[in-house]
């Protein structure tokens, strides 16, 4: 596949869906379906939508992505992240479309002390991680043409993230807490989307790790953000895992090895460069 002819974005009203739409606009016909237009947990509705539009590219941005809320409403998390992925995969198989399934570094348990490769065995610690892994398996089992793209935690203009919280807190808080014992890859939303769409253009399929270069803790991200913003009145303090009222377990180390991506000629800039770009756009 080079440029897609028609792309259907499921979960189009969410943060990641909106980011994909921004980058796809002007390059192909876009069918943007939010939850109100398409509930991916309803199998027949999914098949009807795919049959009607016959897209050659489907972006599954429909996800329950609040890691802690998945521990509370487990049924909805599985319905959306696993069953919704299966429904889209089966429908894509019928029309021959390529299905893109964004996944997560949280499918790993953090026991490894070097970056995780695509073939490393998963072992999720949380319901969210388990549902995303189940979604991956459903996609790989039912969609002959699929692209599973794992990434770190995303930040950007669309949707809420720790970085958008930092922007809000700079004017209201004197002390900000950031986890300092969970190391992963903060990744600018648009950088992730650009890398995924480059994989699509190159006709790549299978499982890929697609995240920013470098790794950091939330504490380090907060320090960097306020340094870039020249915010001096807010003190950043480290927060240890197990405090702060979060219910889902997270791996202490979930850095992804993106050498396969680099080997395909696709580079994602560093998280600091992505952070600087986002903060500049937010200030503008």
Tell me if 26 is assigned to some domain. yes
Above 90 in pLDDT, residue 124?
yes
Domain count, the chain: 1
| Nearest-10 Cα torsion for 255, 153, 137, 100 | -120
Q: Tell me: the pLDDT tens digits for 4-17?
A: 999 999 999 999 99
Mean pLDDT of the chain: 95
List phi, psi (to 5°) of 85.
Answer: -65, -40
| Dihedral pair phi/psi, residue 246, rounded to 5° | -85, 140
Q: In a 3-state reduction of DSSP, which class is residue 43?
A: helix
Quick check: is 229 in a domain?
no
Token representation of residue 40: 């991916």
> Which domain, by its residues, includes 198?
6-159+187-212+253-269
212/195 Cα distance (integer angstroms): 10
Residue 171: CB atoms within 10 Å:
9
Give pLDDT tens digits for 220-244: 999 999 999 999 889 999 987 654 4
Closest-CA residue to 43 (of 95, 91, 109): 91
* Residue 220 located in a structural domain: no
* Residues annotated catalytic, as ranges: 128
pLDDT in tens, 85-115: 999 999 999 999 999 999 999 999 999 989 9
| DSSP-assigned letter for residue 231 | -
**DSSP state letter for 84:** I
C-alpha R_g of the chain? 18
Q: Residue 274 pLDDT more than 60?
A: yes
Q: CA-to-CA distance for 113 and 12, rounded, in angstroms?
A: 36
What distance in Å separates the CA atoms of residue 149 and residue 257, rounded to the nearest whole number?
12
Could you tell me the two tokens for 104?
A: 């997560």
Looking at the domain assignment, is residue 230 inside a domain? Answer: no
Give domain status of residue 23, yes or no: yes
- How many other CB atoms are found less than 10 A from the CB of residue 191? 26
* CA-based nearest residue to 212, from 135, 134, 156: 156
CB neighbour class for 65 (10 Å; exposed up to 12, middle 13-18, buried from 19): buried
Pairing of strands 206-209, 154-155: unpaired
* pLDDT one-digit tens code per residue, 31-83: 999 999 999 999 999 999 999 999 999 999 999 999 999 999 999 999 999 99
Reduced to 3 states (helix: H, G, I; strand: E, B; else coil), residue 14 is coil
* Beta strands 6-10 and 29-33, pairing class: parallel
What CATH number is associated with residue 16?
3.40.50.720
C-alpha 109: how far from its chain's center?
18
Residue 88 · residue 144 · CB < 8 Å: no
Residue 282 lies in a domain: no
Asked whether residue 245 carries a pLDDT value surpassing 60, the answer given is no
**CB-side neighbour CA atoms (13 Å) of 193:** 23
Task: For residue 55, tell me if it sits in a domain.
Answer: yes
Task: Let me know: does 247 contact 158? Beta carbons within 8 Å.
Answer: no
Query: Is 247 part of a structural domain of the chain?
Result: no
């Amino acid at each position: 596949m080079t440029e897609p002819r028609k792309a259907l974005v499921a979960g189009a009203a969410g943060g990641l869906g909106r980011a994909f739409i921004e980058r796809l606009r002007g390059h192909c016909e876009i069918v943007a379906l939010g939850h109100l237009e398409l509930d991916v947990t309803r199998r027949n509705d999914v098949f009807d939508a795919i049959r009607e539009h016959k897209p050659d590219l489907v972006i599954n941005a429909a996800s329950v992505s609040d890691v802690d809320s998945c521990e509370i409403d487990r049924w909805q998390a599985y319905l959306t992240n696993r069953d919704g992925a299966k429904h889209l995969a089966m429908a894509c198989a019928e029309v021959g479309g390529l299905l893109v399934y964004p996944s997560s570094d949280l499918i790993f348990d953090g026991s490894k002390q070097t970056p995780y490769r695509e073939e490393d065995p998963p072992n999720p610690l949380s319901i969210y991680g388990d549902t995303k892994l189940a979604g991956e398996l459903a996609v790989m089992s039912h969609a002959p043409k699929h692209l599973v793209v794992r990434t770190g935690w995303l930040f950007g203009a669309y949707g809420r993230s720790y970085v958008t919280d930092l922007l809000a807190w700079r004017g209201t808080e004197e002390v900000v807490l950031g986890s300092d014992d969970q190391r992963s890859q903060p990744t600018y939303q648009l950088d992730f989307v650009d890398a995924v769409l480059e994989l699509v253009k190159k006709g790549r399929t299978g499982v890929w790790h697609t995240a920013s270069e470098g790794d950091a803790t939330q504490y380090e991200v907060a320090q960097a953000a306020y340094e870039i913003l020249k915010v001096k009145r807010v003190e950043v303090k480290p927060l240890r895992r197990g405090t702060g009222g979060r219910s889902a377990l997270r791996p202490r180390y979930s850095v992804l090895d993106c050498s396969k991506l680099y080997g395909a000629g696709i580079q994602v800039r560093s998280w600091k460069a992505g952070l600087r770009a986002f903060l500049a756009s937010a200030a503008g």
